[in-house]
Structure 1
Amino acid sequence: MKITTIGIDLAKEVFQIHGVNAHGRIMVRKQLRRGEMAKFFANLEPCLIGMEACGSSHHWARKLSEFGHTVKLMSPQFVKPYVKTNKHDMADAEAICEAVTRPNMRFVPIKNVEQQAILSVHRARQGFVKARTAQANQIRGLLSEFGIIIPRGIYSIAKHMPIILEDAENGLPGTLRRLLERLSNHLKELDRQVKELELQIKIWHKENDTSQRLEAIAGIGPITASALVATVGNAMEFKNGRQLAAWLGLVPRQYSSGGKQTLLGISKRGDAYLRTLLIHGTRAVIRYAEKKTEPESWLRKLIERRNKNIAAVALANKNARIIWALLTKGTTFHPDHITTASATAH
């Protein structure tokens, strides 16, 4: 009989395959080496293929889709409950094959080559930013051991280091001066790399119409807009804006039972990088709103009722819903838009 569903446990060199027919009977259970994958699936009739969203999964999803197969990616945490026995490649492939057929399974949108390319730039920039922060903290720590404190802010280090190194009366030994000069040069190089990658992201942003439309939302700049377009991909995968907000981890966690609803802090699920960019962007909007926005606005009333952290997350949640609407409908954001119901009420 025809193979209808296949689960693939991805790896670097040896892939485990588990295939079943329409009645769930096992039709194929074997290992394939990397070089054999394309040939095997090219000669196979189109079927449903499930894989965990992990390293190289998007590459294989695109590759197998070219052969006419329907490929679905799933989060590993949703596949784990279907592992029947001890964890090994054969059990994982069988669990993936079972999970992909579930009607309520949640799938990960498949990214195209362009999306993955710009996301690689984002990941590299994020790594340089972390390394720059670590280097700055190391310089501060070394100087504090000799009683020298630099003011807050990462750019304060670049401003004060030349003065500290040239001051012959601060008691720093020559060995430490040479070390601090080396670390300071490394910090400058990291900062240069961050700025060059940011420029590359901004150039990509200017060439992408969808990314430019998202920039119209308050609190979203070129970095956040480009990351959203590259990560979310096809927003039609989400039924509504709330699902996108939940996917980003911007909705409350629940611990409800017996009809009693208990809401906790935000779930923090999904992409932490995107969530961080969105919330940091809304913090900037809140700082502006405290002075410039009309007292009767939604944001000003929210700030008066709750603290700024809650307001920042609430605004990020709202922005996520607006983002979904812009991505799915292809419209342009209008900050002063008034709904028909609101206009009638006034």
Structure 2
Amino acid sequence: MSTIHILGIDLGKHCFHAVGNNHTGKDVIRRKFSRSQLLRFLSVLEPTIIAFEAGGGAHWLARKCEAYGHRVRLIPPQYVKPYIKGNKNDFIDAAAIAEAASRPSMRFVSAKSEEAQVIAAIHRVRDGYIKERTACMSRIGAILLEFGLSFPKGHVKMKALFQWLAEQDIKLPQSLMAELLSIHEHYKYLNEQVSTQDRKLKAITENNENAELLKSIPGIGDLTATLCVANISSPSNFGGGREMAAWLGLVPRQYSTGGKSKLLGMSKRGNKHLRALFIHGARSVLSRIETTGKVFGDWLVNLRATKPFNVVVVALANKLARIAWAVLYHRQAFRAV
């Protein structure tokens, strides 16, 4: 077999399609593997460049490849699409991945550590509980509306559901009250599960130096700090805070042609959940602009006086992301100048 310079792998649940190119870009291998077969093949393959898309299971496989001595190149799926030739199939996808990985200007994703993936999993489970809890609250409200009761929004009222029902003039059937009791018990269970996940994230923050440093930034708490640790493998992956803010989608979209630049709304690229947390952090700072917001000086006060609220929120979220990069890169807590 000729020497493989880059091996492109199209990942799947059970089947993995691999295309290997030599230094001239010519195919020297084209094979389909099961998961166990792929691991055996990689374990005996001479150290080379292994490329695949940064999708499900990619970070686990990246750690395996690095343990075998290979160099891993994880590529965002949207950057592979332009290299797909002809009709789509798994071998064509693998060939496109290998070609994309050979481009000198290609952008790659760093492999996550096992700890980072665990933190991300805790966040994902927490998000699932919150969505289920919201659906549970909506279900209770919809049932009551069918019986002529408009239930107020919010967790305070939901926790006191039966006290609120007792204050109403409408008498509900006992069988319906039994249904509401069952749903409300599920709501309380979900509340407990969300609290449990919050405690896990707080414990991680207390034992992680980077997370503790990030919490020194106004507007950043346990959620944002731990998700930053989970998703930002190394601050050196970015050329600066500006690049990190762009990666999070906290910059304007650009449409420029004929020498004319046009800036549009927020690009909303990158990690949606992390971007949302930075925006929530900015909102919390703006809600206490006289106290917490004082560290940003006249810049924030003047911006709030001259720009719409949502524009100020995104601008402050952008600044928080840049500060977060600086804190991680220099490994120093935030200090107001």
Query: Structure 1: which 5+ runs fail to align?
Result: 338-346
Offset at residue 33 of structure 1 (A):
1.0
Match of 2:148 in 1: 147
Match of 2:205 in 1: 205
Alpha-carbon spacing, 1:170–1:291, altered in 2? closer, same or farther (3 Å): farther
Q: Mapping of 1:309-328 within 5 angstroms?
A: 309-328=310-329
Query: Structure 2: which 5+ runs fail to align?
Result: none
Measured in 2, the distance between the counterparts of 1:175 and 1:21 equals 72
TM-score of the superposed pair, with normalisation by structure 2: 0.96
Measured in 2, the distance between the counterparts of 1:284 and 1:290 equals 12
Encode CA deviations 1:236-286: one digit per residue, 9 max, x unaligned: 111111111111110101111111111111111111110111101110100
What is the identity percentage for the equivalent residue pairs of Structure 1 and Structure 2? 42
Q: Is the 8 A contact 2:250 2:317 kept in 1?
A: yes
Offset at residue 147 of structure 1 (A):
2.6
Give the aligned length: 335
Aligned residues: CA RMSD: 1.6
Partner amino acid, structure 2, of 1:323 = A
Runs of 4+ in 1 over 3 A off after TM superposition: 164-169, 290-296
* Deviation larger for 36-45 or 83-92: 36-45
Match of 1:40 in 2: 41
Match of 1:215 in 2: 215
Measured in 1, the distance between the counterparts of 2:144 and 2:254 equals 46
Measured in 2, the distance between the counterparts of 1:292 and 1:320 equals 17
Encode CA deviations 1:294-323: one digit per residue, 9 max, x unaligned: 696211111111111111111110111111
Measured in 2, the distance between the counterparts of 1:181 and 1:167 equals 17
Q: Is the 8 A contact 1:249 1:266 kept in 2?
A: yes
Alpha-carbon spacing, 1:208–1:296, altered in 2? closer, same or farther (3 Å): closer
Match of 1:195 in 2: 195
Offset at residue 170 of structure 1 (A):
1.6
User: Counterpart of 2:288 in 1: which secondary structure?
Assistant: helix
Match of 2:55 in 1: 54
Q: Is the 8 A contact 1:58 1:110 kept in 2?
A: yes
User: Counterpart of 1:49 in 2: which secondary structure?
Assistant: strand
Match of 1:107 in 2: 108
Alpha-carbon spacing, 1:277–1:79, altered in 2? closer, same or farther (3 Å): same
User: Counterpart of 2:289 in 1: which secondary structure?
Assistant: helix
Measured in 1, the distance between the counterparts of 2:244 and 2:256 equals 22
Partner amino acid, structure 2, of 1:162 = F
Match of 2:264 in 1: 264
Q: Is the 8 A contact 1:133 1:154 kept in 2?
A: no
Offset at residue 152 of structure 1 (A):
2.8
Measured in 1, the distance between the counterparts of 2:209 and 2:277 equals 20
Match of 1:4 in 2: 5
Encode CA deviations 1:183-235: one digit per residue, 9 max, x unaligned: 11111011010000100110011000110000011110011101111111111
TM-score of the superposed pair, with normalisation by structure 1: 0.93
Measured in 2, the distance between the counterparts of 1:293 and 1:41 equals 53
